[in-house]
Structure 1
Amino acid sequence: MKQAAIYDPYLDTLGGGERYTLSVAVALKAMGFGVDVLWSDKNVLVKSQERFQIDLSGIKIKNDFFKGKALVRKIYSMSKYDLIFFVSDGSVPFLTAKVNWLHFQVPFVGVGGKSLINTLKFKGIGRVVVNSLFTKQIIDKEYGLQTDVLYPPVDTQLIKPLRKEKIILSVGRFSKLLQVKGHDFLINNFKELVDDGLKGWTLMLAGGLGGIKQTDLTQLQKSAEGYPIKFTFAPNFSQLKELYGKSTIYWTASGYGQDENTHPERVEHFGITLVEAMAAGCLVLPVRKGGFKEILGAKFLEYGWDSSQELKARTKELIMRPPALNLVDGSRLRQRALEFSFMKFKINVRKRVNEDFSK
């Protein structure tokens, strides 16, 4: 049995990137690999399974040998593995398994990607994987590479439209780690719509709490007082499915106000929640930034917006349109979302693994 090691320095944040990493582990397990996730907390897989609702049975936790060990000991530990999947924090690791994959979740810039030491390290890395064309453009330029786009897996088959209610939903962690998710911006725009006469609609904000100060969270909640705005903190996947399913409109302002050319790390590199909302037949209104544009594709780019005025105008338009027309568009968006399914992800992982071991 071939053995694979998975390393993600951000694993305990349990965000979209971590779901991607663990999905690689699931795909390798389905191929017959023995899979070890390198981490210090033995409970991280239990937390991940609860958070993402994916089956991680048979995947093991092993001590992280990339931290605090001498190079010789690291080389010895790596020699036990046929494949290593390593998530970069901007740096380039020294990898010595038979097949080595380096994954960039973030479009890093200004990190000296083309340094001599990086050039030497890349000689041992057979495949550099990125999560979107947006990330690819930045990483290829920064590191002087030709990276491989492997889109994140989305449980599009598990997320389905339900009886739609007058809900505008936005999903994204309540934090200011890399991307600012724009919760305050969305709250202010919804308040303006209500003040302008919108009745019967609710804004629902859902997301994890990793990386936000309690004072910032309290301030956000206070800004929503007196308006039909609700919060769902740290929802599990079952809760998210219900929220997506019954919501009519989906908003996301992640990266709004940021220059994606000078600070590409501050916008969405892909946008899993956007795909999830589309899978539920939501009428999506994302800011035209980063990976959101390639998810929409040319056919649906009109759903994007660039300003507060445009967001409110498009929202009013969707609310006033005949329900039958919205139903048709929701169905078309769902079909687009299916192109990013978990099944396609597993097929693409298998194809690449087979290619690399046949060399």
Structure 2
Amino acid sequence: MLSIASCLVQEYEVFIFWDKSKEDKIKQTALKKLGIDLSSVKFYSNIFDKKTSLLSRFVQSRKFDAIVYLSDGSIPIVGSKLFIHFQFPIEWINGNSMKTRIKLFFVKKIFCNSYFTKSFIDKKLDVKSDVLYPPVNLHVVKNMEKENIILHVGRFDVDFHESNYKKQDVMIDIFKKMIDAGLKNWKFKLVIGVRDGDEEKLNKLRTISEGYPIELIVNIPNQKLWEYYSKAKIYWHATGYGENLQKYPEKAEHFGISTVERRSSIFSGDRFCKELKKIINE
């Protein structure tokens, strides 16, 4: 969504619905960690906050020509053109309910982050969505010698059952078994993005890693991340491992931006902007 804002601000006045008190911090973090420049983007009090009444949301939304909404399964009713973006399947939603059908009637366009997500969204909501891949620009550090490093890159995310979505705990346990079985001269490095307040939960991974050649690297800037990509001989990703992905497809990797980065398959920012503007202007 930050990429969408940075793209559209080149031609339009763009606002992000967020906590205005965190504007400076969010802009600094986006630039440092993601290389996304939001300096020209403005922030607006979040009208989609649960504390905002439906009437107030509708009235305030009329100030904007269009709204791009990142959906968690919900579909808001607003007073402007509405574009819905899905990044994962929403199998728990009743797509045939009268309430959902009415809300969909007012949606201008739906677009997804992958054909995997699209296949479930289209079936669930009986729509024909577009696909807009996230932009991936990898600056590989050339002439860097490869090392015996197994690399994992992903955010740290646990549900209310303390289940690790990216399966970092599973990979650590498997790597420990490999070491115990005789694997030598290899290191497992996990580059992890951690939100404020989740550091304590991350300590579980630190604890189970003790005594093994395992390193947890937290919240590093992109340039440092590219160095790790360039040095590692093996990339390891385990999202969806052991899950019933037909019943719970949201537990799979919906796009897998880190796997694309590792393979150096690039969907450039320029192409992303062109495709986005095509969707918005249709």
Q: What TM-score, normalized to structure 2?
A: 0.89
Task: Report deviation, 1:107.
Answer: 0.6
Matches within 5 A, 1:115-194: 115-156=97-138, 158-161=139-142, 162-177=144-159, 180-194=165-179
Letter in 2 for 1:82: D
Rounded Cα–Cα distance in structure 2 between residues aligned with 1:251 and 1:231: 14
Rounded Cα–Cα distance in structure 1 between residues aligned with 2:53 and 2:212: 57
Task: Report deviation, 1:39.
Answer: 0.8
Matches within 5 A, 1:17-96: 21-30=1-10, 32-40=11-19, 41-42=22-23, 43-67=25-49, 68-96=51-79
Higher percent of residues as helix: 1
Q: 1:273 aligns with which of 236, 258, 268?
A: 258
* Alpha carbons 2:62, 2:78 under 8 Å: kept: no
* Alpha carbons 1:95, 1:125 under 8 Å: kept: no
Post-superposition CA distance 1:179-214 (Å, at most 9, x none): 621112212222233233332221101112237472
Point out 4+ residue stretches in structure 1 off by more than 6 angstroms: none
Task: Report deviation, 1:70.
Answer: 3.7
Gaps of 5+ in 1: 1-20, 280-336
Q: SS in structure 1 opposite 2:14?
A: strand
Question: Relative contact order (C-alpha < 8 Å, sep 6+): which is higher?
Answer: 2
* Alpha carbons 1:167, 1:246 under 8 Å: kept: yes
Letter in 1 for 2:75: V
Percentage identity across paired residues of the two chains:
36
Task: Report deviation, 1:50.
Answer: 2.4
Letter in 1 for 2:253: E
Post-superposition CA distance 1:270-290 (Å, at most 9, x none): 1011111112xxxxxxxxxxx
Rounded Cα–Cα distance in structure 1 between residues aligned with 2:263 and 2:70: 27
Greater shift, 108-117 or 184-193, is seen at 184-193
Matches within 5 A, 1:194-343: 194-210=179-195, 212=198, 214=200, 216-279=201-264, 337-338=265-266, 340-343=267-270
212 and 266 in structure 1: CA distance in 2 versus 1, 3 angstrom threshold: farther
Q: SS in structure 1 opposite 2:243?
A: coil
* Alpha carbons 1:107, 1:138 under 8 Å: kept: yes
Q: SS in structure 2 opposite 1:172?
A: strand
Post-superposition CA distance 1:150-196 (Å, at most 9, x none): 1111123x344533222110011223138621112212222233233
* Alpha carbons 1:78, 1:95 under 8 Å: kept: yes
Rounded Cα–Cα distance in structure 2 between residues aligned with 1:89 and 1:112: 14
73 and 163 in structure 1: CA distance in 2 versus 1, 3 angstrom threshold: same
Rounded Cα–Cα distance in structure 2 between residues aligned with 1:72 and 1:188: 51
Rounded Cα–Cα distance in structure 2 between residues aligned with 1:114 and 1:106: 19
